Amino acid sequence: MRDIWQAKQADRALRTLDAEDMIILSGLLSDAVRRIAPAAALGTFADLTMTLIGAAVRHAITVPPNQARRALALFKSMLPRSLATVI
């Protein structure tokens, strides 16, 4: 996985594809939380959330499996229990 991620970072077309994918994923997240979040904050929240998730996963694929599991578990524990406290 680390080699795939590094190759993606080095290739402009793959970086563009990743950015386009992030836009789609942010849109899906926005649709999912639209019912409970104020419209003004929704787009920014979705973009930042997808960026943080992507960064956590990319970090996890660059470290040994045990460390990756610990890092992802810690990341999950850092997420808010309620969106009401964030948005």
pTM for this prediction: 0.58
CA distances from 11 to 3, 56, 59, 74, 80 (A): 12, 21, 19, 30, 34
| Whole-number Å distance between alpha carbons of 48 and 65 | 26
Question: Could you list the pLDDT tens digit for every one of the 87 residues in the chain?
Answer: 667 767 777 778 887 888 888 888 888 887 877 777 666 677 788 888 888 898 899 889 888 999 999 999 999 998 888 767 766
Class of residue 72 by CB neighbours under 10 A (exposed 0-12, middle 13-18, buried 19+): middle
Instruction: Check residue 69 and give its pLDDT.
Output: 95
Instruction: Check residue 49 and give its pLDDT.
Output: 86
| CB-based contacts of 1-7 (< 8 A; 24+ apart in sequence) | 1/61, 2/61, 2/62, 5/58, 5/61, 5/62
